[in-house]
Copies of this chain bind each other. A is one copy, B any other.
């Protein structure tokens, strides 16, 4: 039994930087109905501000083509699809966090591609044409959406250029060149549009340092720094359908955030915002950890503390409508999504809704709980019991004392754990149907809901004492609200007159 005494005299600001941005499969998928259904659900229940994904300039979005006119090759810009995509985003109350990449085939210097959907990852064959393309795209955005709107969109140059599969040879100098040309193009449309990079994956700290020094040395504009963070190790098993990986502890990810923040602090641009433009446990879209309650329990601490170090961190991704490793092959397949196929929310989806219920005043926090006060004086807390070991016997008991200026309170608790809010587990009971029929989908939607329990409690001397038992990998939201009891206003009320009630 761990005892926690919450104090309410020195609240700290709880920064909801986890809510700033969320990741998405390649932009071309945003044309799909199922994708938009999932995004609508996510926006209704969570409400991210920005969305970031690959493939803006890839062939399927169709922006860049070349046409021969009178023997001359000319660029041809087609915004049919990207307009439809961004219209959809704005209609759903979310803005693009623009990633400028990958390379249109017609502009590519080579054939190297990444993913099932073949994003070309080679440098432009002609930097002038690339510059023109960026100017055309950004100008079109300004024309269609207005400069006020576009000034709110960050533009990030490329994705993970420090990996050979995302940028030919992971050539740092070539990336700097790309960055410089791109930033100039963006700024040529309007000097206040924000541009940044280097969007690297993982721990290559020298990329951060070199990048900022390069910008300083060459007087290249940079408005923010970005990188990614995953805590899975190399796959220890890898098959046609699955990657299995071990995970580092969540502290490891927080340490990554912190380290890079310090690098920036010591750089020529110490005040730059720092965005984690991707994070998750595993970096593989076919790692079943993403479907589990373990994933929710793991991410909990990141949501709780990540905002201390970074200006945003963007969960990769909101939906299993995703094609990096081919068309999804089953209802559950280890996809990144908060929402699984057929609009079934996963445990991590509810983790985000739980954090969404927290207030801005942080009263208490440790590595397994965060307690906040909301504007209306009510209390909301999220607790979790991350267990990265096999076995069943990991129950944890907390006793929490909270000062609260009400006599009677209504306590509502929502829980996701192995037995509740766990559609993956029920799907396994069903025999893992790859393409479940409507009835099975209906059941999975039902069991995806968190368990809700409620009770009425009394405080003593303005202190509420809560006993909270957490099962293995449980994530729980507890809300405490004052009761304004109106029972006395019912004329002649007496439940004991109802058969079988007292």
Q: Which residues of A contact B (CB under 8 A)?
A: 31-34, 36, 61-62, 65, 67-69, 76, 78-81, 83-84, 87-88, 140, 144, 236-237, 239-242, 244, 246-247, 288-289, 292, 294, 326-330, 341, 387-391, 408, 410, 412, 426, 428-435, 437-438, 443, 446-447, 449, 452, 454-456, 472-473, 483-487, 489-502
Q: What is the oligomeric copy number? A: 4
A339 to chain B, nearest CB (A): 14
Closest 8 CB pairs of A and B: A239-B492, A62-B327, A244-B497, A431-B485, A33-B33, A240-B491, A429-B456, A431-B483
Chain B residue with the shortest CB-CB distance to A487 = B432
Q: Are B330 and A490 in contact (CB under 8 A)?
A: yes
25 A-B residue pairs with Cβ-Cβ distance under 8 Å, sorted by A, are A33-B33, A62-B326, A62-B327, A67-B491, A78-B327, A80-B328, A80-B435, A239-B492, A239-B493, A241-B493, A244-B494, A288-B495, A292-B501, A294-B499, A294-B500, A330-B490, A390-B502, A410-B429, A410-B431, A430-B483, A432-B487, A433-B486, A434-B489, A443-B452, A472-B500
A208: min CB distance to chain B, Å: 29
Give the chain B neighbours of A62 by CB distance below 8 A.
326-327
A447-B452 contact in complex given A241-B491, A410-B429, A435-B80, C-beta closer than 8 Å: yes
Measured CB to CB, the nearest residue on chain B to A117 is: B60
A437 to B83, CA, bound (A): 9
Q: How far is the CB of A456 from chain B (nearest CB, A)?
A: 4
**Are B80 and A327 neighbours in the complex by a CB distance under 8 Å?**
yes
One of B246, B326, B454 near A499 (C-beta < 8 A): B246
Complex contacts, A327 vs chain B, CB 8 Å: 61-62, 78, 80-81
A485 CB contacts on chain B under 8 angstroms: 431-432
Contacting residues, chain B, for A83 (C-beta < 8 A): 435
Contacts of A240 in B (CB 8 A): 67-69, 76, 491-492
